[in-house]
Amino acid sequence: MGRHTPGAVPEDEPFALVATASHGIRVTAVNRRAAAEGVRVAAALADARAALPALLSRPAEPHRDRTALIRLARWCGRYGPARNSDGTDGLWIDVTGVAHLYGGEDKLIADLCRRLASLALTARAGLADTLGAAHALARFGFLEPRDEGAGGCPPGQVVERHPYSRSDRAWIIAPAGETRAALARLPVEALRLAPETVVLLKRLGLFRIGQLYGLPRAALERRFRPQAASRSRARESADLAAAVLGRLDEALGVRFAPRRPLREPPILSVRRRWAEPLISSQALEAATAALAAELCRSLADAALGARRIRLSLYRADGTVAEAQAGTSSPCRIPAHLLRLLKEKLALIDAGFGIDVAVLEALSVERLGPRQAALGAHLEAADGNETTALIDRLANRLGPARVYDLSPRESHTPERAEIRLPALWGARAHTPQARRPSSRRSPRRPPFLLERPEPIAVVAEVPEGPPQHFTWRRLPHRVVRAEGPERIAPEWWRALGQSRPRDYYRLEDEGGAGYWVFREGLYQNAAEDGPPRWFLHGLFG
């Protein structure tokens, strides 16, 4: 129920968020006070108002909630690189290999809950071997005895507190290997099943996950069958049983549950945490330098070089600042990586301070070991200086703005060449492309307009070169002309849309050279329309 405007949710008055559903306006969320007064989620607003006239309400904004949740998920990267939102009201984080940085799972989850609380969020957390189990613990491990019936337990049966939970904590941790025991008492809803499956399970008397453990697998499918008379129904029941068992296996870790993190986890990652948030830019720079040195050591150990790196700075107020940098060749020189990041650091606002910094290598390539003693010296040599220059230019100006020219097999002038971002480093890898020798190939202008510009032309004979032309509102008198050079359209590309071109090299009375063409032929003017003239390049 985190709102974007602070103070929008009153603390001590019943408050509900509402949304228009198929049968009128429904309550989608309530605050604590309203819950205490008996307002339930999914009740009609009219009913709730009838029972509690003082109920305040506002329309729900699911898309803004979603954005806020994603932003929170990004910030959760401080607890593990793989994380994403879970449903519309939860997050999952893969903390494998991270807990020791916080001094244990207990301290990690305590830190998480404390920080979420400081962001004015009420959070429940579950930590288990599998995503399914953690989901179940976080959502169904905290049912109060008061919630009798609501958690899906058989009526009349009192829900007892989860054995791993403690009243002073907002989290439950299932120790490694004890997932079965931890889940046994939870209701079957916790398995992330479709509502009708849950209803069916309850009708069969299966209320808790523990009840499913001992059941023979074939028997479960048979139990669903009495419901199903026809053959299609039989297949449906088999599907239902498979869904239940699949979810159970995923929760217990028997079957791998695919999950999609917010972002691809990095290949290598180093992180630093500080008790006091960093604010000054010098401190940030020093921290980045230390991280870069550490990352380069890891890269050297693995005989790798980084092509793309990302620095994530987690601010104390629950936001993340990021800086990405790319290199045109695999690199593990801390000074160079630092230099690329430093320019972007200047643009980063530290806000209330940065307490976790993570430097990740997103893309790496093999880079053989180098002699350490000579390395520093060698890397200052020419070839590397140029790639370092490309990196600096491309990282500041944008990769598409720094490019190489690469030839392509085509007779259409504008298609005979492509611009490849220099940062891709394709020039170093591909063998020297064969260009036709300049002597034999027809003359081309050194400057080619991005798209041909229409010109108004006066020609002596229709098929001949122009005598006058007007380009950019300036008249030019042609004194010399060479041509035509006919370039036919490539028949495998959109035939009928493009017409043959007759290129002429012109010189005006001032001596300036132009490359113009006439698109279309006079003999085909009846079908294709009259030919048109364009200016395509400058000879100077």
Partner 1 sequence: MDQAAPSPHPSAELKRVSPSNAGSRLSASCKLRSPPSRNGEPLLAVPVSRAALTPEALGRRALLTRLRERIRAIERHDAPLAPLPPAGPASDADGWTLGAPEIDALLGATALDPAGVHEVKPAAKGAGGRAAALIFALRLAVRRMRQMPAARGRRLLWCWPSSLARELGRLYGPGLASLGLDPEALLIVETAKAADTLWALEEGLNSGSLALVLGVLDEVALTPARRLSLAAEAHLVPCLLLTGAHAPATAATATRWLLAPARSGAHLFEAPAPGAPRLAVTLERCRGRRAAPPEASLTLEWSDETHRFRVAPLLAHRADGAPHAGCRAGG
Q: Based on the shown chain and the rule CB under 8 A, indicate whether residue 461 belongs to the binding site for partner 1.
A: no
Least separation in angstroms between residue 332's CB and partner 1 is 20
- Considering only 109-117, 228-236, 318-326, 506-514, which stretch makes contact with partner 1 by CB under 8 A? 506-514
Contacting partner 1 (CB under 8 A), which of 508, 516, 517, 533? Answer: 508
Residues 78, 335, 279: CA angle, nearest 5 degrees: 45
Locus of tokens 């940062």: 423
Least separation in angstroms between residue 385's CB and partner 1 is 4
Least separation in angstroms between residue 384's CB and partner 1 is 8
7: left (phi over 0), alpha (psi -120 to 50) or beta: left
* Cβ-based neighbours of 375, under 8 Å, separated by 6 or more: none
Tokens of 343: 């320019």
Q: Of the two residues 42 and 347, which places its CB atom closer to partner 1 in the complex? A: 347
Q: Based on the shown chain and the rule CB under 8 A, indicate whether residue 474 belongs to the binding site for partner 1.
A: yes
CA distance 409 to 38: 74
Q: Based on the shown chain and the rule CB under 8 A, indicate whether residue 513 belongs to the binding site for partner 1.
A: yes
Q: Based on the shown chain and the rule CB under 8 A, indicate whether residue 482 belongs to the binding site for partner 1.
A: yes
Q: Based on the shown chain and the rule CB under 8 A, indicate whether residue 480 belongs to the binding site for partner 1.
A: yes
Least separation in angstroms between residue 409's CB and partner 1 is 12
b (16+ CB within 10 A) / e for 370-403: eeeeeeeeebeeeeeeebbebbbbbbeeebeebb
Q: Of the two residues 438 and 497, which places its CB atom closer to partner 1 in the complex? A: 438
Q: Based on the shown chain and the rule CB under 8 A, indicate whether residue 540 belongs to the binding site for partner 1.
A: yes
Q: Based on the shown chain and the rule CB under 8 A, indicate whether residue 454 belongs to the binding site for partner 1.
A: no
Total residues at interface with partner 1 (CB under 8 A): 58
299: left (phi over 0), alpha (psi -120 to 50) or beta: alpha
Q: Which of 26, 47, 24, 48 is nearest to 35 (CA)?
A: 48
Least separation in angstroms between residue 87's CB and partner 1 is 42
Residues in the chain: 540
> How do beta strands 304-315 and 354-366 pair?
antiparallel
CA distance 374 to 368: 14
Q: 517 has which bridge partners?
A: 503, 534
Q: Of the two residues 49 and 427, which places its CB atom closer to partner 1 in the complex? A: 427
Contacting partner 1 (CB under 8 A), which of 227, 386, 412, 467? Answer: 386
Q: Based on the shown chain and the rule CB under 8 A, indicate whether residue 32 belongs to the binding site for partner 1.
A: no
Residues 460, 465, 471: CA angle, nearest 5 degrees: 100
- Considering only 71-79, 87-95, 163-171, 511-519, which stretch makes contact with partner 1 by CB under 8 A? 511-519
Q: What is the largest CA-CA distance in the chain?
A: 104
Query: What is the x/- site pattern for partner 1, positions 404-443, by CB under 8 A?
Result: xxxx-----x--xx-x--x----x----xx-xx-x--x-x
Query: What is the x/- site pattern for partner 1, positions 387-406, by CB under 8 A?
Result: -xxx-xx--xx---xxxxxx
- In this structure, how many other beta carbons lie within 10 angstroms of the beta carbon of residue 437? 7
Q: Contact, 509 vs 477, CB < 8 A?
A: yes
- Considering only 11-19, 66-74, 87-95, 384-392, which stretch makes contact with partner 1 by CB under 8 A? 384-392
Q: Based on the shown chain and the rule CB under 8 A, indicate whether residue 502 belongs to the binding site for partner 1.
A: no
Q: Please report which residue ranges of 149-230 form alpha helices under DSSP H.
A: 179-183, 195-203, 210-213, 217-224
Contacting partner 1 (CB under 8 A), which of 445, 484, 489, 500? Answer: 445
Residues that bind partner 1 (CB under 8 A): 382-383, 385-386, 388-390, 392-393, 396-397, 401-407, 413, 416-417, 419, 422, 427, 432-433, 435-436, 438, 441, 443-450, 472, 474, 479-482, 505-514, 537-540
